Chains A and B, each alone.
Chain A
Amino acid sequence: MKEKTKLKRSSMKRYIPLYMMLILPVAYFVVFKYGPMYGITAAFKDYNIFKGLKGSQWVGLKYFKELFSTPGFFKALKNTLILTIGDLVFTWPVPIIIAILLNELVSEKLSKLVEQVTYLPHFLSTVIIASIFYQVFAPTGVINNVVTSIFHCNPIPFLTKNNGWRITYWLASIWEGTGYGMIVYLAAIGGINKELYDAAYIDGAGRFKRIWHVTLPQIRPTIVTILIMNTGRIFSIGFEKPYFMRNVLVEEASDVISLYTYRLGLQAGRYDFATAVGLFQSVVALVMVLSVNKIAKKLGEEGLF
């Protein structure tokens, strides 16, 4: 008995250096990731800059009630969903199709080149991507120059009308995300047992039958997992992309939740109300991820966790 506790103590001692290493990283997560959680209370308080968070009065759900009676909030929510659902619909199939076709390509050199080139936009900053799209899709940009000279029509309002702007936004997502999105599918396809293809080939299956009956079923779990992840994300829109892509003419379409929070919180100084907006978004986004994951598991697919 004595022996055992001694052993335990000595083994606990062995862990001390490991815990020492963890001090700084854990402190980081506590301060910078969990520290702000305390700030969430601002959503339930009448935030007073001079009194600080602690001294401010509790007001309960006041801001959430206000939230649901503010048209600006609903507009931002609607705009967010239009952009993210569009992203989901357009950027989800493209990498799948390209990865499958890439697998059909004989030339390894070309397929390597395609990968290298399509990854590139992923490494460009949002500012650069937005700047490039603003130049290229401008009324006098190269795309409109080509279009107007071929069809003798007016420039397409890619940046100046709400719907045109949305299309530009989605095109930027496709341009930026396709290469990155392809990686998981290429890996999944690479992992398919070659004998399945050989068997299908011997059975006389043509190319499209092989894609339909071998490739697609084999990468189905990956396709579904990615779909789950993307669906779970429709309530979370980043800050940078809408911030840099927007312009005065399309404010009706570009005012999304993250920009709404920014405008009200940091520009108008309504920390409390803006925190409530942000909290609403975080909670709904989390519920989305969890429920989509659950539904996927119920349907017999592999979930995320």
Chain B
Amino acid sequence: MANVYDKKFSPFQIILTIFFILIILAVLLPILNIIATSFSGRDAIAMGKVGLVPVDFSTAAYKMVFKDKSMIRSLLFSTILMIVKTIVSMVLTILAAYPLSKKDLPGGKAIMLIITITMYFSAGMIPNYLLVKQLHLINTFWVLVLPGAITAFNLIILRSFFMSINPSLFDAAHIDGCSEMQTLRLVAIPLSKAAILTLSLFYAVSRWNSVSDIILYVQNPKFYTLQYKLKLMMDTINIPYDEKDEVTREIIAENFKAACIVFTMIPVLILYPFVQKYFREGVMIGGVKE
């Protein structure tokens, strides 16, 4: 889609290139500054000398982060929660999308309508809370899995994907004696691998990043995810100075906080190349109108 009327080094192209490099920097600078701060020494930070590269390189802040067992524990918990939630969500989404992709299914349209309505109207925070409470899910693992198990948007994406599969393939499977479950397993799923992977990543990232359900439904530190731990860490104003502990002498709140941010960002940065690859397509399929 690039411009074909300009020469590569025309003045306009050079200005555009500079403009876009500035845009890239504007996005990356805050992140780079945080990374630089996390690796800098306390005096450099206190004097405001840290820009984009670490000054007085130091890993003391990370030592402090790793010393905190609860950070590592939350990392593990977040990972397990993300995996369980993604599997539950994906199984339910597939089970819904496949039957609803059959245009001739009696009542399918009505069910779609019921699902679509939830995209535009939700009961709100308190009724949701009251329901969760009534189901005795407060302070349980499942409160972080079930209430958001299916996203209507993702369901619609997968449904359109299943719809785009040539129906004769399904017919062939039925003639060969496949049940619907087998057809789903042997035809629909293998043909939509890319879509299923994309949606799994969407579910995984959104579970990884979401914190509001922890704030609303969970008080037990056992269920604190890494994101929520980060929130608690950000409320640190002073690192208690401990004469015997070398680490506390070397850091101030700023670089401890920065190290916490980086620590929390790493998993997303690792997943990002995979997510990003399918991201644009996923969003576009979702935009297709009913």
Interface residues of A (CB under 8 A from B): 12, 15, 17-19, 21-22, 24-26, 28-29, 31-40, 42, 53, 98, 101-108, 110-111, 113-121, 123-128, 130-136, 140, 142, 145, 175, 179-180, 183-184, 186-187, 189-190, 197, 201, 207, 210, 239-240, 243-244, 258, 261-262, 265-266, 271, 274-275, 278-279, 281-282, 286, 289, 304-305
A28, A180, A286: most-surrounded residue (chain B CB, <10 A): A28
Q: Are A132 and B124 in contact (CB under 8 A)?
A: no
A172 to B, closest residue via Cβ: B30
A279 to B102: give the CA distance in the assembly, Å. 35
Contacts of B272 in A (CB 8 A): 120, 123
Q: Are B283 and A134 in contact (CB under 8 A)?
A: no
Give the residue of B149, B179, B205, B211 whose beta carbon is less than 8 angstroms from that of A127.
B211
B2, B216, B290: most-surrounded residue (chain A CB, <10 A): B2
Q: Are B99 and A22 in contact (CB under 8 A)?
A: yes
Q: Are A107 and B283 in contact (CB under 8 A)?
A: no
Which 3 pairs show the lowest CB-CB distances between chains A and B?
A39-B127, A278-B124, A125-B209
27 A–B contacts from the bound complex (CB under 8 Å)? A29-B115, A32-B147, A33-B123, A39-B127, A39-B128, A39-B131, A42-B126, A101-B19, A104-B16, A114-B20, A124-B209, A124-B265, A125-B209, A127-B211, A128-B227, A132-B34, A135-B34, A135-B37, A175-B26, A175-B30, A187-B280, A187-B284, A243-B215, A261-B125, A281-B124, A286-B120, A286-B121
A28-B23 contact in complex given A17-B180, A53-B130, A106-B2, C-beta closer than 8 Å: no
Contacts of B199 in A (CB 8 A): none
Contact with A along B1-24 (1 / 0, CB 8 A): 111111110001100110110011
| B251 contacts A by Cβ under 8 Å | no
In the complex, what's the smallest C-beta–C-beta distance from B226 to chain A, in angstroms? Answer: 9
A16 to B4: give the CA distance in the assembly, Å. 56
Complex interface: stretch among B60-68, B69-77, B254-262: B254-262
Count contacts on B: residues with CB < 8 A to the other chain. Answer: 95
Q: Are B105 and A105 in contact (CB under 8 A)?
A: no
A114-B8 contact in complex given A40-B123, A275-B124, C-beta closer than 8 Å: no
Complex interface: stretch among B79-87, B90-98, B189-197, B241-249: B90-98
A175 to B, closest residue via Cβ: B27
Main secondary structure of the interface of A (DSSP, over half): helix
A294 to B194: give the CA distance in the assembly, Å. 36
A274-B125 contact in complex given A21-B99, A35-B131, C-beta closer than 8 Å: yes
| B140 contacts A by Cβ under 8 Å | no
Contacts of B114 in A (CB 8 A): 26, 29, 34
Give the residue of B12, B118, B228 whose beta carbon is less than 8 angstroms from that of A33.
B118
| B222 contacts A by Cβ under 8 Å | no
| B287 contacts A by Cβ under 8 Å | yes
Contacts of B234 in A (CB 8 A): 127, 130-131, 134
Contacts of B123 in A (CB 8 A): 33, 36-37, 39-40, 278, 282
Q: Are A25 and B150 in contact (CB under 8 A)?
A: yes
A132 to B262: give the CA distance in the assembly, Å. 10
Question: 8 Å CB contacts to A: which residues of B13-55?
Answer: 13, 16-17, 19-20, 23-24, 26-28, 30-31, 33-34, 37, 48, 50-51
